[in-house]
Structure formats: C-alpha cells, structure tokens
C-alpha cells in the first residue's frame, strides 16, 4: 500500500467513467492534468472530485505515495504541503516557503519516493499552486472550476455529465427496486448530471419516495430552475421537513469553506443565542452528531467514515446562499462568526493548539470574519495571523494581516485598537519575508499612533516599541535600540513588576542591545537577572531559559571568560530541537568558546551549527551568515585557510545584499575577510580592506567598540608588514590603550594587542610580559603559543552575536 495523506475514502457507489479514467491515466504520463467542468455544465456538479478519488484508489498500487491537498485556499495548500514535508523527511525551515520549495524539489528528484500522485482539489486559481507543482516521474492531478489553465501548466480534461447507462446504474445501485424505465425517466429529467442524480437517489432512499412521486415533485418545480437546482431544492425541502433544525445547521455550514467541518466546531455555537430548533441540536453532542448523519443521508454533504466531519460541496453552499433573505443571511453570518470566535483556543504561539487553528483558519474568508463587528471575532483574526506566523507561514500571515488592517482601517478608523494590532502583526510578517524597510516604517507609524491614542504605558504600545527596537537592531542602530528598550524596561517594571514575562523579554532585548554595543558587563548583569526570574517561572530547558543562557554565554565570551561561558552552556539542557533558533544560538556560542579554548572539536561544532542554520533559515538569514563567520574562524584555526576564505567571502557578499554596505555586521565580516587575506600573506590587499572597514566601524559603532578594536589590531599587523612601522606602532598602541580601558588588561584580546605592539616595537620584556599574560588567560599548551613561537601577530577574530 502507498503512503497516503488526506485521501478521502473511496466512494462505494461510484459507477462508470471507465473511459474517462483511462484517459486520465494516459494523460498523466505527459504531465499534470486538470479536471474541469464540461462547457455545457459550467456550474459544476459533474463529479470531478469523485473521479479524482476513484482514480487514486483504483491505481493506488502504481504509486509509492499519494497526497491529497485541499487547494481552495492558499493557506490550506501550504499547510498540507508542510505535512507532506514531514512524510518526505524534508527538514522544516523557519520560513515555510523554503520548506515547500524543498518538498517540490524532493518530489522532482524522486527522493525518497519515485512514483507519487499529488492531487490538488478545488484549485480555482492556477497561479496559487503553480509554484508548488513538481516535475519528475510522479503525477499531478488537479480539480478546478477555473478555465484559465494553460497547456504549459496542465492538460485540461473536461469532465462531462454521465452517459445515460451510468445514470441508470447509479440510481438503481441506491434503489434496487427502481425499474430501468423509471431510472431512465429520472435521469432524463436531471440531464444526467452526477450531483443531481446523487441528490435524487439520496432523497428517495431517505424518504422512501416512489419514482412517480419524485418525478411529480420534480415537475412541480422544473419550470423554476435548472435540473441540479431542482434536485437540490427537493433534498433541502425533505431535510427540513424531517427535523427543521437539520436544515438550519446546514445553513450555518454554507458560511464555512469546503474544508471538513468537525462536530466540535459546530458544537462551539452552543453558547450563542440560537433559534430553539437549532439550539436543541447543537447543545447536545449526540443530537449534533445525529443531525450530521441525517444531512449526509440526504446527499447534501459528505460525512467522513468516523462521523466526525462534514464537507459541503461549493455548489451546495452556493445554492443555499442564494435562497437566503438579506436579513436571514446577516443573522446566520453573525452566528457563524460567533461560533468561530467561541472555538478560538487562544495562545496561537503554543504548538499544542495549532491543530485547532488549522481547522478554523480555512473558514475566515467564507464567513467574512474580517467584516465581523464583535471584538472577539476580530481577535480570532489576529490570532490566526499570529498562528500562521508562529508556524513559519509568513506569506499567509502577511496576507491576512494586510487584509485585516485595510478592512479595519476603513471600518473602525486608523487609531482603533485592533487596526493597530493588525498593523503590528503585519510589520512582523513583512520583516520575516525580508521587507525590513516596510516593516520599520509601519512599526514607527503604528507606535506613534498608539502613543497618541493609548499612551506610552499601554501594553500594546510597549509591545510595538519592542518590535521597533528589533527593527533598529536589524538596521544596525544599536544605540537607538538601547535607548528605546531601556525606556520600555522602566515602564514594564513599573507597570507589571520585574518578573513579569513581557518585562523579562524586554530586559532580554536590552541585554542584546548592550551586547551589540560591546557592553558585555551590562549585558551580563541583565541576563543573570533574567535567568534567575525565568528559572523561577519555567522548567530548565524551556526555550526562554535556553535563550537567556545563550545570551549570557555570548556576554561571558565577550568578557573573555571562556570557561564561564562553557559552564553556562553545559547547563542549558537538551529539550529543544537542534534547529530551534535559541538552540542554534547556543550552539554557535559553544563553537566560539571551544575555538578560543583551543578545543579541537570547535570546527565540527561550528560546521554542524552552520548546516542546520542553512536548512532552517536559508543562505541569506542573518543567523546563517553569523554562523558562517564563526565556522570560517574555526576552519582557519584548524588550518584550512582556503575553506575559511571561501566561507567569509560568501558571507561578506551576502551581508552587503541583506544588511547593506555600512551595517556593523557587514563591516565586521569584512574585517574577518581581511584577516584571511592577511593569513595568506597578501598584506597590502588586507591593509586596503582594513583601512576602509575601520573607518566604517568607527563611524557606525565607535573606535572603542570590540568590532573596531579587532579590525584595528589586524590592520596594525598589515601596516607593519608593508613597511609602515611608525604608523603600525601608533595604531597598535592606540588599540591597546582602548582595549585596556574597555575590556581590561587581562582580557585575552587585550593581551593579543600587547603582544602585537611588542612585535612592532621589538621590546623583549614586553613580549615576555604578553606571553605570561597568555599563559594566565589560556593555560599551557594552547594553540596561541604556536603563533607566538613563530613570531607572528595574534588575530583577534570578530564573532557576531545574535541580532
């Protein structure tokens, strides 16, 4: 049996279509096939989905994998493909787009399955699924109502109505007592449309109505509408005549999407004001489940074998909707919106509740949830925005947030609380998809409005201010970020207390600012405070504790306390997946610490960290680039200068593209590249790069920043090597003076500056003093002594902390 995902059960009442199934099989060998309504039945109802289901089951033995994808909405398509990624063993990236691209590529390569069938159901916009269409030895089958499919994308195959023989077979399979002549008369009235025939058979089966009685009822309505609409009308009438509440329940379902609707979702309506007939059904689980079975029995929806979920065909939904008066439409829509809001599990960041949001999210459009006027309804929209973001579907998060912000701006005004909340989440999504300038501008605009309307101490205002701080860090404006986050922290602590979770996050952000500014002592004090509070709240191994330990390790690394950093990291636990962002930060710090301690495992740690970063975030992520810089330093320490140069050269190019030419991280990575060129003996070239980079760093972060000091230390060595001895001594002396003032005389990088200055001055006593200091800092046998024994300058590599 093939691996299966989402494939609906086989229809035991499927009849005929043998020629059509043979054509599908033949066409799939030449590329994707799209099943469309026939021209004479453009509304649908010709059985495209049933044909696709039957094909998948009939030819299951020919495939290693069959995956069914509900494609009515892009978010549903992407969620199903994410599930396929797990089945294929494709590593999950932080950005779902990367995961989906990897799914497409794995299918195209035939890894791990060569023969596969992917079915996109209700893909009514070709452009929505085109990016996900794989090639290779597998097959792609699509059902759609949209005629705009081109031959370059898929081969169109119109699905006609039944032949008369198939119509008669279907009717008689549901009603064996029906004569061939009566079946022929019913089929003639229904124009052989499969959905209409199925409805007729279901009504006769449920009511025991004779062929003559059914035809009489049909003729009574036939002048009013098309055959399929008449068949639907008779089914809806019969359903309502049995238990009136059943029809009302189905009317609610017409405001939901074609995705499966669970009884639990319908049950959420039990707390709402309802008509007595409907209330009597939804407030008792067994009655609700019985109503779902009756709706299915009349052919008006499909019920899954477990009796858990109803699926309503788009055509059925549309016909119900056309029957409603404006007042009835408004009342039902309000009830559905309330029902969806009542089913909101809350806390969209918690993966434990994602399966519930996966059920709710497809129904937002059909119910027009964005148009709801109740606050809890709009909050569900916001929570769905956040759910998409939390699971890495940034495109869906951005699209929904953008729609919400635009609708609410028009309906509620620019300064309404939930308009601003949607704008805040939109900025997050924009930043995540790389539109950092748009995110920054939107966040600033939102923050200004929130301060005017709600005040600077409002919790939502503070949350946006935190986000603005993140924007400033990404821009490289570390000082501005520190100023904003310090003000935020004062407000958080005054309003909520020092140990309040969001106050701790703000303190964590301020520590990151201080670390980026080179104030490792200040960052350490904050991180130690945050760690104590978080340990009192969470169990060890919780993501927020891991994040704080990683930050503290970077602080201690910056202070030159490599043993202390290693101790902090050793206590962090292993509860997080290796590709969690906080685990990756800790992993990068571990590789940096191992390198500085002379541990030969450093390179393997750094390369493993870089590999996972690439899988999780892609090549252009700032976390991947920082991991590449650290891996380059480890490769150099391991003697592999060529690989180190390659890593840094690529990282510098990408930093220029992602963060810009003047960003401190771009300049710091460029200083590292100059170090690789210096190690290759090309001092004149390294000097040119170093002088330009040092100027940029002094402008952006100041001459006393560790980035600038590391660059200046290397540049002094280049100046000495090209014969500029006096300039080299002056720069080396200035760098040592600044390093002593900023980092202290015993910091390993200060000791390296002392050694390098002694080299330029030829002072044996100063050299010995530096060697003694190295012994104190590193202990005997450290690799640094191989460098000093050869009379070479000691590099002070620049590693990059998290942004």
pLDDT, one tens digit per residue, over 516-529 is 999 999 999 999 99
Output the domain CATH number for residue 153. Answer: 3.40.50.300
Residue 148, burial from CB neighbour count under 10 angstroms (0-12, 13-18, 19+): exposed
My answer on whether 213 and 137 are in the same domain is no
Q: What's the structural domain count of the chain? A: 3
Query: Taking the mean position of all CA atoms in its chain, how far away is CA 285?
Result: 35
My answer on whether 36 and 126 are in the same domain is yes
Helix (H, G, I), strand (E, B) or coil at 261: strand
Over residues 284-310, the mean pLDDT reads 94
My answer on whether 187 and 44 are in the same domain is no
DSSP 42-70: TT--S-HHHHHHHHHHHTGGG-SEEEEEE
Among 298, 326, 353, where does a domain finish?
353
pLDDT at 458 over 90: yes
Q: Is the bond preceding residue 112 a cis peptide, omega within 30 degrees?
A: yes
What is the separation, in whole angstroms, between the first and last Cα of the chain?
Answer: 48
My answer on whether 38 and 179 are in the same domain is no
- Token digits for 276? 């007595």
Half-sphere exposure of 174 (CA within 13 A, CB side): 28
pLDDT of residue 2: 67
Helix (H, G, I), strand (E, B) or coil at 373: coil
Q: Could you tell me if residue 87 is inside a domain? A: yes
pLDDT of residue 574: 59
My answer on whether 105 and 177 are in the same domain is no
Residue 718: CB atoms within 10 A of its CB come to 26
d(CA 796, CA 783): 14
Q: Could you tell me if residue 503 is inside a domain? A: no
In total, the chain counts a number of residues equal to 803
Over residues 107-120, the mean pLDDT reads 95
Q: Could you tell me if residue 349 is inside a domain? A: yes
Tens-place pLDDT, residues 133-142: 998 889 999 9
pLDDT at 295 over 70: yes
Percent of the chain with pLDDT over 90: 83
Query: Taking the mean position of all CA atoms in its chain, how far away is CA 217?
Result: 53
My answer on whether 106 and 241 are in the same domain is no
Contact 393, 384 (CB under 8 A): no
1: confidence class by pLDDT, cuts 50, 70, 90: low
Q: What is the DSSP letter of 561?
A: -
Helix (H, G, I), strand (E, B) or coil at 694: helix
Q: Could you tell me if residue 497 is inside a domain? A: no
d(CA 594, CA 223): 84
Percent of the chain with pLDDT over 70: 99
Mean pLDDT for the chain overall = 93
Over residues 384-403, the mean pLDDT reads 92
Among 321, 353, 385, where does a domain finish?
353
Range of the domain at 714: 703-803
Residue 536: CB atoms within 10 A of its CB come to 8
My answer on whether 244 and 277 are in the same domain is yes
Residue 542: CB atoms within 10 A of its CB come to 17
Half-sphere exposure of 465 (CA within 13 A, CB side): 28
pLDDT of residue 76: 87
Tens-place pLDDT, residues 370-380: 999 999 999 99
Contact 712, 687 (CB under 8 A): no
755: confidence class by pLDDT, cuts 50, 70, 90: very high
Q: What is the DSSP letter of 4?
A: E
My answer on whether 236 and 155 are in the same domain is no
pLDDT of residue 616: 85
223: confidence class by pLDDT, cuts 50, 70, 90: confident
Pairing of strands 139-143, 302-303: unpaired
My answer on whether 147 and 193 are in the same domain is no
Among 160, 178, 195, where does a domain finish?
160
pLDDT at 573 over 90: no
d(CA 356, CA 707): 47
pLDDT of residue 73: 87
What region, left, alpha or beta, does residue 636 occupy, with left being phi > 0 and alpha being psi -120 to 50 degrees?
alpha
Over residues 96-117, the mean pLDDT reads 93
d(CA 391, CA 93): 10
Contact 666, 798 (CB under 8 A): no
d(CA 649, CA 633): 12
Over residues 258-263, the mean pLDDT reads 91
Residue 761 neighbours by CB under 8 Å, 6+ apart: 729
What region, left, alpha or beta, does residue 346 occupy, with left being phi > 0 and alpha being psi -120 to 50 degrees?
left
d(CA 52, CA 10): 10
Over residues 423-438, the mean pLDDT reads 91
Tens-place pLDDT, residues 608-635: 999 999 988 889 999 999 999 999 999 9
Q: Which residues are registered as beta bridge partners of 311? A: 302
Over residues 785-793, the mean pLDDT reads 94
My answer on whether 198 and 324 are in the same domain is yes
pLDDT of residue 433: 83
pLDDT of residue 160: 95
- Token digits for 484? 């904003």
pLDDT at 560 over 70: yes
Residue 574: CB atoms within 10 A of its CB come to 9
Q: Could you tell me if residue 648 is inside a domain? A: no
Tens-place pLDDT, residues 339-368: 999 999 999 988 889 999 999 999 999 999
Q: What is the pTM of this model?
A: 0.85
d(CA 425, CA 428): 5
Q: Could you tell me if residue 62 is inside a domain? A: yes
Q: Could you tell me if residue 683 is inside a domain? A: no
Where does 89-161 have alpha helices with state H? 96-109, 126-129
572: confidence class by pLDDT, cuts 50, 70, 90: low
Residue 549, burial from CB neighbour count under 10 angstroms (0-12, 13-18, 19+): buried
Please choose, from the candidates 373, 375, 377, 370, the residue with its C-alpha nearest in 3D space to the C-alpha of residue 401.
370
Tens-place pLDDT, residues 631-683: 999 999 999 999 999 999 999 999 999 999 999 999 999 999 999 999 999 99
My answer on whether 281 and 244 are in the same domain is yes
My answer on whether 172 and 156 are in the same domain is no
Q: Could you tell me if residue 72 is inside a domain? A: yes
Over residues 268-290, the mean pLDDT reads 95
């Amino acid at each position: 049996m093939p691996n299966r995902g989402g494939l609906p059960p086989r229809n035991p009442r499927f009849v005929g279509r043998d020629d059509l199934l043979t054509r599908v099989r033949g066409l799939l060998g030449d590329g994707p096939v799209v099943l469309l309504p026939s021209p004479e039945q453009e509304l649908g109802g010709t059985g495209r989905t049933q044909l696709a289901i039957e094909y998948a089951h009939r030819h299951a033995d020919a495939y290693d994998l069959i995956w069914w994808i509900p494609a009515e909405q892009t978010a549903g398509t992407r969620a199903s493909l994410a599930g396929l990624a797990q089945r294929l063993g494709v590593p999950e990236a932080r950005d779902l787009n990367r995961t989906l691209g990897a799914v497409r590529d794995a299918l195209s390569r035939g890894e791990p399955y060569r023969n596969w069938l992917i079915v996109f159901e209700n893909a009514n916009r070709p452009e929505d699924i085109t990016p996900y269409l794989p090639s290779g030895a597998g097959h792609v089958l699509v059902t759609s109502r949209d005629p705009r499919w081109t031959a370059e994308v898929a081969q169109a195959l119109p699905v006609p109505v039944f032949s008369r023989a198939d119509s008669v077979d279907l009717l008689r399979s549901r009603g064996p007592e029906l004569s061939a002549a009566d079946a022929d008369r019913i089929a003639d009235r229904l124009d052989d449309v499969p959905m209409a025939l199925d409805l007729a058979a279901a009504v006769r089966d449920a009511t025991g109505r004779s062929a003559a009685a059914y035809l009489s009822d049909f003729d009574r309505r036939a002048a009013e509408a098309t055959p399929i609409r008449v068949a639907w009308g008779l089914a809806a009438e019969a359903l309502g005549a049995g238990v009136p509440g059943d029809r009302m329940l189905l009317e609610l379902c017409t405001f939901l999407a074609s995705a499966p609707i669970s009884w639990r979702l319908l049950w959420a309506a039990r707390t709402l004001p309802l008509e007595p007939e409907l209330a009597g059904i939804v407030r008792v689980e067994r009655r609700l489940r019985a109503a779902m079975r009756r709706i299915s029995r009349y052919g008006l929806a499909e019920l899954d074998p477990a009796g858990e979920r109803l699926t309503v065909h788009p055509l059925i939904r549309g016909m119900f909707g056309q029957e409603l008066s404006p007042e009835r439409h408004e009342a039902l829509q309000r009830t559905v919106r309330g029902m969806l809001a009542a089913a909101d599990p809350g806390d969209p960041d918690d993966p434990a509740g994602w399966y519930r949001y996966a059920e709710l999210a497809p129904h937002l459009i059909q119910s027009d949830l964005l148009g709801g006027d109740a606050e809890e309804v709009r909050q569900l929209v916001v929570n769905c925005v956040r759910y998409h973001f939390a699971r890495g579907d940034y495109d869906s998060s951005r699209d929904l947030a953008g729609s919400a912000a635009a609708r609410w701006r028009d309906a509620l005004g620019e300064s309404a609380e939930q308009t601003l909340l949607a704008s805040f989440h939109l900025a997050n999504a924009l930043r995540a998809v790389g539109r950092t300038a748009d995110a920054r501008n939107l966040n600033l605009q939102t923050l200004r409005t929130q301060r005017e309307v709600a005040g600077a101490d409002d919790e939502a205002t503070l949350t946006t201010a935190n986000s603005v701080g993140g924007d400033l860090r990404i821009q490289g404006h570390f000082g501005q970020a520190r100023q904003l986050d310090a003000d935020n922290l004062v407000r958080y602590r005054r309003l909520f207390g020092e140990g309040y979770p969001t106050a701790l996050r703000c303190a964590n952000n301020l520590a990151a600012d201080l670390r980026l500014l080179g104030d490792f002592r200040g960052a350490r004090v904050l991180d130690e405070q945050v760690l104590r509070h978080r340990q009192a709240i969470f169990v060890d191994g919780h993501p927020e504790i891991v994040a704080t330990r990683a930050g503290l390790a970077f602080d201690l690394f910056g202070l030159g306390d490599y043993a202390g950093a290693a101790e902090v990291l050793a206590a962090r636990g292993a509860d997080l997946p290796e590709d969690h962002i906080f685990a990756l930060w800790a992993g990068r710090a571990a590789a940096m610490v191992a390198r500085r301690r002379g541990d030969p495992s450093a390179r393997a740690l750094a390369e493993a960290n870089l590999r996972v970063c690439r899988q999780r975030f892609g090549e252009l992520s700032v976390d991947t680039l920082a991991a590449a810089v650290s891996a380059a330093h480890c490769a150099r320490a391991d003697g592999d200068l060529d690989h180190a140069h390659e890593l840094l050269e690529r990282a510098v190019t990408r930093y220029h593209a992602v963060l810009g030419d003047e960003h401190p991280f771009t300049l710091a990575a460029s200083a590292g590249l100059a170090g690789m060129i210096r190690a290759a003996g090309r001092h004149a070239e390294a000097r040119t790069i170093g002088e330009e980079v040092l100027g940029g760093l002094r402008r952006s972060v100041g001459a006393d920043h560790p980035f600038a000091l590391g660059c200046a230390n290397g540049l002094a060595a280049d100046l000495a090597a090209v014969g500029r001895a006096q300039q080299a001594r002056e720069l080396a002396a200035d760098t040592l003076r600044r390093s002593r003032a900023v980092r202290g005389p015993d910091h390993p990088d200060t000791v390296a500056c002392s050694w390098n200055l002694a080299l330029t001055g030829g002072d044996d006593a100063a050299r010995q003093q530096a060697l003694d200091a190295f012994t104190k800092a590193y202990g005997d046998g450290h690799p640094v002594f191989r460098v000093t024994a050869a009379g070479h300058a000691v590099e002070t590599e620049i590693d990059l902390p998290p942004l």
